[in-house]
């Protein structure tokens, strides 16, 4: 059996080990507990919203550079990476190009998705609502547009007539003459045909000589068609060169719409 001094020594050692263990537990507990409790307002706790935390982190970032300069830098990085990959097609260079390329693709896709979402929230900016791209909707739009064009042209015919300038030796004038004649008959628009070189057109056998008129209207291209309002003496070019009937109707309709907007 151990004697008394040995027993005292053993007791002292046990007491020392107990104290050391307690200190060690306290130190470890303090190390792990302090970050948790000192930051109890962060993370998943109710007091700190993760989105708010991310917002704070974003706000601490440095201010962005000029967006145009930033975009130019991105394009340059992609261009440099592809040129490097073409000249030196190592795996690392190819990976670098792919990384830059897909970054641009990702930004473009994100922009597209965000833009579509914006249009759903702000329909006044949705171009497709006024000019639909859907096949069925396009048919409806086309019918409505044709009705609007015809209405505008008939409004034009009440107050305007045409001066049609041509040359007998001009092949395009012979092509365009039937269109002008068809327009005149369809809408009842008066046409004064003016021959620059004394030539004839079967559609307008009563054409007048136009040296003075051509100069006054500053005709530079043949054929040329001008709209004239006899009351106001307003003269507006409607067509230069040979166009088809629908294009002529559209030009007249645009003129009427422009006049209406000015008023």
Q: What CA dihedral angle connects 93, 84, 74 and 110, to 10 degrees?
A: -50
Closest CA to 237 of 260, 257, 211, 219: 219
Q: Residue 83 falls within a domain, yes or no?
A: yes
263 band by pLDDT with thresholds 50, 70 and 90: low
* Size of the chain in residues: 263
Q: Decide which of 80, 101, 121 is a domain's last residue.
A: 121
CA distance 107 to 74: 11
pLDDT greater than 90 at residue 214: no
Does 87 lie in the same domain as 182? no
- pLDDT (average), residues 44-64: 48
Asked if residue 192 belongs to a domain, the reply is yes
Whether residues 178 and 256 fall in one domain: yes
Count the neighbouring beta carbons within 10 Å of the beta carbon of residue 208. Answer: 11
What local confidence, expressed as pLDDT, does residue 198 receive?
87
Q: Looking at the structure, do residues 104 and 177 belong to the same domain, yes or no?
A: no
For position 168, which CATH number holds? Answer: 3.40.30.10
CA gyration radius, the chain: 42
Query: What is the tens place of the pLDDT at every residue in 92-112?
Result: 999 999 999 999 999 999 999
Whole-number average pLDDT of the chain = 78
Structurally, the chain folds into a number of domains equal to 2
Last residue of a domain, one of 78, 100, 121: 121
Domain encompassing residue 240: 151-262
Shared domain for 168 and 247, answered yes or no, is yes
In this model, does residue 245 exceed pLDDT 90? yes
Q: Name the pTM for this structure.
A: 0.53
pLDDT at site 35: 43
Where does the pLDDT of residue 30 fall: very low under 50, low under 70, confident under 90, or very high at 90 and above? Answer: very low
Q: Does residue 144 form part of some domain?
A: no
Residue 220's pLDDT is what? 87
pLDDT per position as a tens digit, 108-153: 999 998 988 898 888 888 877 776 666 666 677 778 888 889 999 9
- Residue 166: how many CB atoms within 10 A of its CB? 29
């Amino acid at each position: 059996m151990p004697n008394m001094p040995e027993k005292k020594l053993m007791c002292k050692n046990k007491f020392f080990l107990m104290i050391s263990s307690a200190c060690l537990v306290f130190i470890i507990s303090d190390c792990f507990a302090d970050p948790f409790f000192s930051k109890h307002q962060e993370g998943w706790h109710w007091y700190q919203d993760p989105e708010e935390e991310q917002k704070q982190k974003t706000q601490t970032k440095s201010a962005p550079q000029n967006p145009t300069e930033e975009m130019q830098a991105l394009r340059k990085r992609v261009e440099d990476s592809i040129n490097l990959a073409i000249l030196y097609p190592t795996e690392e260079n190819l990976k670098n190009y792919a990384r830059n390329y897909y970054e641009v693709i990702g930004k473009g896709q994100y922009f597209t998705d965000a833009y579509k979402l914006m249009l759903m929230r702000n329909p006044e900016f949705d171009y497709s609502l006024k000019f639909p791209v859907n096949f069925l909707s396009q048919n409806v739009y086309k019918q409505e547009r044709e009705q609007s064009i015809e209405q505008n042209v008939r409004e034009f015919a009440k107050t305007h007539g045409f001066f049609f300038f041509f040359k007998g030796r001009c092949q395009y004038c012979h092509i365009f003459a039937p269109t002008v004649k068809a327009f005149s008959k369809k809408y009842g628009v008066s046409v004064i045909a003016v021959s620059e070189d004394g030539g004839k057109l079967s559609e307008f056998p009563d054409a007048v000589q136009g040296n003075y008129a051509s100069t006054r209207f500053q005709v530079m291209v043949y054929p040329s068609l001008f709209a004239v309002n006899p009351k106001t003496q307003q003269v507006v070019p409607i067509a230069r060169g040979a166009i088809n009937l629908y294009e002529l109707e559209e030009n007249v309709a645009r003129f009427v719409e422009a006049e209406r907007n000015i008023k």
